[in-house]
Amino acid sequence: MSALRFHSTRRNSEPVGLVEAIADGLAPDGGLYVPESFPTLGPADLKNCQTMPDVGVRLLHPFFEGGELEGALRSICEHAFGFHIPLAPTADPQVRILELFHGPTAAFKDVGARFLAGCLEYSKKPDDAPLTVLVATSGDTGAAVAGAFEHYPSTNVAILYPAGMISARQQHQLCCWPEHIRSFKVAGTFDDCQRIVKQTFVDEQTTSKLRLTSANSISIARLLPQMVYYAASSLEYWRETGRDAHFIIPAGNLGNSLACIWARHIGLPIGHVALATNANPVLSRYFDAGVWEPGETIPTLASAMDVGNPSNVERLFDLFPAAHEPESRLSARAVSDEQIRDSIVDAWRRLRIAICPHTATAWQLRRWMEDEQPGRDWIVVATAHPAKFERIVEPLVEQSIEVPPALAELLERPVEWQEIAPTLADFRTALLGRGTRKNR
């Protein structure tokens, strides 16, 4: 059987195989890679899959079949899903929480980053030039990517993050790594960081000197494994109840949400997918009016979701191309900072659950759904550990949040970063080694 190909969302470049799509990150025409076709897999096809790696191998095999990474898929999945990802019950029988924050950097992005690192390592050839991984982050992605590549010193990592728009603990996590992992504090927004990364991929002055790939959610190797925990949790719920699982997902750059939508598209027992955003209204406005109008980024308490122009909307439109009309089992609502605070308090007072500001957007949406769709069960997706946002969460719940051991170890390390202007030219100069690193 010939290997599955991946084409650009913009259709102006040739389809490629999985390894090339992963290595390129972004397609040559500036689009995002998507599969030319999706397999069809339902509960019966995964009936013998009891563990997360088992689900990963079965679900992702059609994307790897016939390619050079097919034989490594089991090892890659066992590493990527090497920590607990529970579908946790709560004292409210209609609410379960998919806890995605038990990885080494306490955020859901550990899964995709570890999967990507495994794919790149297994596809590496002896005569390959050193690879540089570029990642724009609004909080958690950069740390997850850094953690995934910490023990792969032959791969360089460059992290761009917006100055003053992430928590102190998030910044520490971005800047505490060995020398092959460099952090750049950008005097701008996340959208500036994302724009610079995209520009760098088509900048001949840089690409002529460095072999680049991406670790943002524009990378196909980030999205594919994120489908797995939605598949596994929906199967767990379906086996228990015989019903489709309905998810509420904190949404920023739309990668994690799209993974759930792809899993449903393949045939997993997933019903409604509700996207909870912060005060950045681009997604909720689109679902309300059917018009896509990217805007300037608004800083919020849920900083990792501060995105005014989500990249993965291209993949959403590719899946649902009919006049860019939202699919009926999708919805989106915006949540204000005041509502985030109120939801953190509500989750603690009602159920003694501490949640981060991003998870709080989903919690608030669940509170609205409780009134609008009474009687329906929901799975609230928890994307980061609340200890990463202690300055927000602890005053609201009026007690300290225990720091997970892996996060505590990172917070003891020294930090180092480099400040740059929000321009391609400044980043190019710094990336190619002509800048000055700064210490805290």
Domain ranges of the chain: 83-108+221-404
Q: What percent of the chain has pLDDT over 70?
A: 97
Q: Are 59 and 228 in contact (CB under 8 A)?
A: yes
Name the one residue in this structure whose structure tokens are 């946790």.
Answer: 88
C-alpha distance across the termini of the chain, in Å: 54
Share of the chain above pLDDT 90, in %: 77
Would the pLDDT of 438 be above 60?
no
- In terms of phi and psi (left: phi > 0; alpha: psi -120 to 50; beta: otherwise), the region of 103 is beta
User: Phi-psi bin for 66: left (phi > 0), alpha (psi -120 to 50), beta?
Assistant: left
**pLDDT band at residue 326 using 50, 70 and 90 as cut-offs:** low
Model pLDDT for residues 147-173, shown as the tens digit of each residue: 999 989 989 999 999 998 888 888 999
Tokens of 348: 């603690």
**Mean pLDDT score, 347-373:** 95
Six-digit token pair at 111? Answer: 């899964």
Q: Which residues partner with 185 through β-bridges?
A: 161, 419
At 235, list the tokens. 């199967």
111 has a pLDDT exceeding 90: yes
Q: For residue 23, what pLDDT is reported? A: 86
What average pLDDT does the structure give for the chain? Answer: 92
> What local confidence, expressed as pLDDT, does residue 288 receive?
87
Q: Is the pLDDT of residue 327 over 80?
A: no
Q: Could you identify the residue written with the tokens 């300037």?
A: 296
Pairing of strands 155-162, 131-136: parallel
Torsion sign, CA atoms 68, 318, 41, 222: positive
279 contacts 390 by C-beta, under 8 angstroms: no
Entry pTM = 0.90
Q: Does residue 198 have a pLDDT over 60?
A: yes
Sign of torsion over alpha carbons 190, 195, 201, 204: negative
Burial 259-269 (b: 16+ CB within 10 A, else e): bbbbbbbbbbb
Alpha-carbon radius of gyration of the chain: 20
Residue 133: strand pairing partners: 157, 213
pLDDT value of position 26: 85
pLDDT digits (tens, 9 = 90+) for 330-343: 999 999 999 999 99
Label residue 9 left, alpha or beta by phi (over 0 means left) and psi (-120 to 50 means alpha): alpha
For residue 52, give every residue at least 6 positions away whose Cβ sits within 8 Å of its Cβ, in sequence order, or none: 77, 81, 85, 228, 229, 232
Residue 399's pLDDT band (boundaries 50, 70, 90)?
very high
pLDDT of 245 above 60: yes
List pLDDT tens digits, range 126-135. Answer: 888 889 999 9
3-state per-residue secondary structure call for 128-191: CCCEEEEEECCCCHHHHHHHHHCCCCCEEEEEEEECCCCCHHHHHHHCCCCCCEEEEEECCCHH
DSSP, res 323: G
Q: 414 in helix, strand or coil?
A: coil
Res 215: pLDDT: 83
Across the range 361-379, mean pLDDT stands at: 94
Separation between Cα atoms, residue 103 and residue 84, nearest integer Å: 8
* Residue 305 to residue 20: CA distance in whole angstroms: 29
Whole-angstrom distance, CA of residue 365 vs CA of residue 361? 6
pLDDT given at position 325: 55
CA-based nearest residue to 363, from 353, 373, 372: 353
83-108+221-404 has which fold?
Rossmann fold (3.40.50)
Which residues are bridge partners to 33 per DSSP?
8
Alpha-helical segments (H) within 276-389: 282-289, 313-319, 337-351, 357-372
Instruction: Please give the pLDDT value at position 349.
Output: 96
Instruction: Return left, alpha or beta for 275; rule: phi > 0 is left, psi -120 to 50 is alpha, else beta.
Output: beta
Nearest CA among 85, 112, 121 for reference residue 101: 85
* Per-residue model confidence (pLDDT) at position 334: 96
| 289: pLDDT strictly greater than 60 | yes
pLDDT at residue number 78 = 96
Where does residue 104 fall: left (phi above 0), alpha (psi -120 to 50 degrees), or beta otherwise?
alpha
As a whole number of angstroms, the distance between CA 377 and CA 234 comes to: 12
Q: β-pairing, 438-439 with 416-420?
A: antiparallel
State both tokens at 29. 């025409």
Instruction: Tell me what pLDDT residue 1 has.
Output: 58
Q: What is the pLDDT of residue 170?
A: 87
Look-up of token digits 């209609």: 94
Whether residue 439 is predicted with pLDDT greater than 60 in this model: the reply is no
Q: For the chain, how many residues are written?
A: 440
Environment class of residue 204 by beta-carbon count within 10 Å: exposed (0-12), middle (13-18) or buried (19+)? exposed
pLDDT of 417 strictly over 90: yes
Q: What is the pLDDT of residues 17-57, one digit of tens each?
A: 999 999 888 899 989 999 999 999 999 999 999 899 999 99
Average pLDDT over residues 120-140: 88
| Mean pLDDT value of segment 101-123 | 93
